């Protein structure tokens, strides 16, 4: 399988703080990679670098055929191929659910409105919210809003989905409904990278686990590695109840 994402010796600093210290890993087409680790280990920064939301200091990142490390990178072209969902939903409160989803296809891809509406209805059905198309975000629960945020990314028909701690602000019941949507995407063959603290979910869905510590890839392997950690750091992390 060809790599959809490839990080090679990536370094990133914020002032004097070194956040990524030579991070390398690949994501094959159709693979689900869970990035785990304690707060401050560099997980979210690595994800943001993949989508060119942060500029790296050295190393190489290739995503969906784009050289993300190239200063001449066309970011809008990259983001047509890559969807990203954050902890905060970032929905426009004055737009309906369908209008929120239609915005990017009509503005970025110049999709005709009637076609974009059909697409919105299709992705809402995919996340189990077909009946909420004409509701406003404030009329939805947090879990429903997060599912709309996922649908909004899916409407751009990306080759890769990135999820950054998307359930950390939700209670357990709402977390479950969002994770089910992500599991369905994984089963359908979507290439995904998820930064998550949901260890049971990572174990169930991920084809590869990347454990980060001190800005480095500390351990990497199949989900079974969570049952047999090779380093004290991973043992400590898993033993902390996270």
Whether 215 has a pLDDT exceeding 60, the answer reads: yes
Q: How large is the average pLDDT for residues 88-116?
A: 93
Chain segment 149-185, per-residue pLDDT in tens = 999 999 999 999 999 999 888 888 888 999 999 999 9
Check if the beta carbon of residue 33 is closer than 8 Å to that of residue 27: yes
The mean pLDDT of the chain is 93
Query: Taking a C-beta distance cutoff of 8 angstroms, is the pair 195, 43 a contact?
Result: yes
Is the confidence at residue 130, as pLDDT, over 80?
yes
Is residue 77 within 8 A of residue 66, CB to CB? The reply is: yes
Looking at residue 173, its pLDDT comes to 85
More confident residue, 88 or 129: 129
Question: 45 or 87, which is more confident?
Answer: 45
Most distant CA atoms of the chain, gap in Å: 56
pTM for the full model? Answer: 0.93
Domain residue ranges in the chain: 3-239
Percent of the chain with pLDDT over 90: 86
Average pLDDT over residues 193-197: 94
pLDDT over threshold 60, residue 62: yes
Give the pLDDT score at 240: 67
Q: Say whether pLDDT at 1 is over 80.
A: no
**For domain 3-239, is the CATH number 1.10.1040.10?**
no
- Neighbouring CB atoms inside 10 A of 204's CB total 14
The contacts of residue 104 (CB under 8 Å, 6+ apart) are 152, 155, 156
Q: 110-123 pLDDT, tens per residue?
A: 999 999 999 999 99
Q: What is the DSSP letter of 106?
A: H
CA-only gyration radius of the chain, Å = 18
72 token code pair: 């001449």
Helix (H) or strand (E) holding 221: strand 216-221
Q: pLDDT at position 242, please?
A: 46
Once rounded to an integer, what is the mean pLDDT over residues 200-211?
Answer: 94
Tell me the per-residue pLDDT of 31-61, one tens digit each, with 9 for 90 and over: 999 999 999 999 999 999 999 999 999 999 9
Whether the Cβ atoms of residue 89 and residue 145 lie closer than 8 Å to each other: yes
């Amino acid at each position: 399988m060809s790599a959809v994402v490839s990080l090679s010796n990536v370094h990133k600093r914020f002032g004097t703080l070194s956040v990524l210290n030579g991070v390398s890993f690949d994501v094959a087409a159709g693979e689900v990679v869970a990035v785990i680790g304690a707060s401050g280990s560099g997980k979210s920064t690595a994800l943001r670098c993949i989508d060119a939301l942060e500029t790296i200091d050295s190393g190489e990142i290739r995503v969906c055929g784009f050289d993300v490390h190239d200063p001449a990178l066309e970011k809008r072209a990259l983001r047509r191929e890559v969807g990203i969902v954050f902890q905060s939903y970032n929905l426009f409160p004055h737009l309906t659910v369908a209008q929120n989803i239609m915005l990017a296809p009509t503005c970025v891809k110049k999709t005709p409105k009637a076609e974009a509406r059909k697409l919105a209805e299709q992705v809402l059905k995919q996340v189990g919210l077909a009946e909420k198309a004409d509701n406003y975000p404030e009329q939805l629960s947090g879990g429903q809003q997060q599912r709309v945020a996922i649908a909004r990314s899916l409407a751009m028909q990306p080759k890769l989905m990135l999820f950054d701690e998307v359930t950390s602000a939700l209670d357990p019941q709402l977390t479950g409904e969002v994770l089910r949507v992500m599991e369905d995407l994984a089963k359908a063959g979507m290439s995904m990278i998820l930064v998550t603290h949901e260890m049971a979910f990572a174990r169930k869905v991920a084809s590869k686990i990347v454990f980060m510590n001190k800005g480095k890839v500390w351990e990497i392997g199949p989900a079974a590695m969570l049952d047999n950690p090779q380093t004290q750091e991973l043992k400590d992390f898993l033993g902390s109840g996270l």
